Each structure stands twice: as C-alpha cells, then as structure tokens.
Amino acid sequence: MKYLAVLLFAVLALSTSVQAQMQCEVCEFVAAKVEAIAANNQSIAYVETHLEGICNYLPGTYGQACTFMVKSYTQVVLNMIINNETPEVICSQLGFCPATEEVTLQQLEETAPVTSLGKHHHHHHHNIVKKLECKVCDWLVKKVEQHIFSGHSQQEIIRALDSECHHFDIKAAINLCKKEVAQEVPKMIEHLKRKETPAAVCKMIAKC
C-alpha cells in the first residue's frame, strides 16, 4: 500500500512537470510564430486566425493549450515583441516557463509561481503586475521627492526620471516606469507638495 502511494505521488509529480514543460514549449512556439508573422506587418486579426489554424494541427492537449494561448495572449505577446522581447523572455514574464521565471521574480523581489493555464494564471499574473506597479511607484515617488527638494521643475523631473527608469533590470519594469513617469509624475508632485508620504501617494493614484 505504501509502495502504491509513493508510486502515485511520483506519477502526479511527473504529470505536473510534463504539463509545465508543455505550457512553456507551446508558449515559445506561439510567440515565435507571432514574431515571424508580425515581421510582415499583418493585422492582429490575421495573426490570430493564422495561428488558430496552426494550432488545429497540433495533437491533443498541445492543440488545446495552443488555442488558449492564441485567444488569450496574442495581443500581449505582439506588444512585447514590438518592445523587442524574445519568445523566451516573453514566456518567462508571462509565467509559462518556470525555470526562467524564478530569475524574473527574484529581480522583482516577489515569489508567485504559476504552473497552470486558465483563470488561475490570469489571477496570479494580475497580482504580479500590480505588485510591480506598486514597487515602481514607490521608487518613483521617492525620486520625485528628491528632485522637488533640489528645486527642479516638473519638466526637469520628468526628463530626469524617464532616463532613471533604466535603473530597473527588467524590460517590463522599465516600460512600466516610463509609462508612470509620463502619466503620474504631475499627480505625484501635487500630492508630495501637500506633504503626503510616498506610500500614501501611491495609494491615492491607485498603484498600491
């Protein structure tokens, strides 16, 4: 009986490992196809239709995972490709390739492993993005505060921070930082001049 329990555990562990590997392979396959098609300046509708046709030729669960990936992530993958991300990096940041994901999450100082497709993945990926937004906001507000103390104007602060966003090592964080600089710095300055703390500012602008 004990032997059967150990055997069952081993089979389940192997099944989970195989599933995770399949998700990673499918993600990189789809991302590479999106990259190739996007190079020909095709529309997003064309990309999705073309990829769904390819997915139909894949066997069993591979085909199902491929179709899910295409329907749920084509636009996201395309945006990341436009930002010069590789299929490997894209699938790491989306959480489909666990081995590389560990490095990414260490850089974000977070741990939220994702090993399954579906709503569960969307929930965790959303949490990771929100935590990253909060982390970037906190860093930016403290930088804005320093610039205010130095007597810099709003435009000077925006120009300086846009460059300082490269402090982050992850492309996704750099892009998010630049977006927050462009959209949120005026609000940050306004709240800081009212003597709000960095933590309070990020809550007020809905980043934390």
CATH of the domain at 197: 1.10.225.10
Task: List Cα–Cα distances, 62 to 54, 55, 167, 180, 195, in angstroms.
Answer: 11, 8, 39, 38, 55
* Interhelix angle 154-164/171-193, nearest 10 degrees: 150
94 plus 131 within the same structural domain: no
The residue that leads in pLDDT, 95 or 194, is 194
Number of domains in the chain: 2
Where do we find the tokens 């636009």?
75
pLDDT confidence band for 189 (50 / 70 / 90): very high
Give the chain's mean pLDDT: 75
146 plus 98 within the same structural domain: no
pLDDT reported for residue 103: 37
Please check whether residue 81 is in contact with residue 31, taking contact to mean a CB–CB distance below 8 angstroms: yes
Residue 121 falls inside a structural domain: no
Residue 147 falls inside a structural domain: yes
The Cα–Cα gap between 170 and 176 comes to 10
Average pLDDT score over residue span 115-143:
66
pLDDT digits (tens, 9 = 90+) for 146-166: 988 888 888 899 888 888 888
191 plus 88 within the same structural domain: no
pLDDT reported for residue 197: 86
Residue 120 falls inside a structural domain: no
Residues 6+ apart with CB under 8 A from 176: 132, 133, 136
Where do we find the tokens 């490095």?
103
10 plus 105 within the same structural domain: yes
pLDDT confidence band for 113 (50 / 70 / 90): very low
pLDDT of 40 > 60? The answer is yes
Choose one of 90, 115, 140: the last residue of a domain.
Answer: 115
The Cα–Cα gap between 122 and 137 comes to 22
32 plus 133 within the same structural domain: no
Average pLDDT score over residue span 87-100:
76
Residue 87 falls inside a structural domain: yes
168 DSSP assignment: S
pLDDT of 109 > 50? The answer is no
Q: Name the residue range of residue 173's domain.
A: 126-204
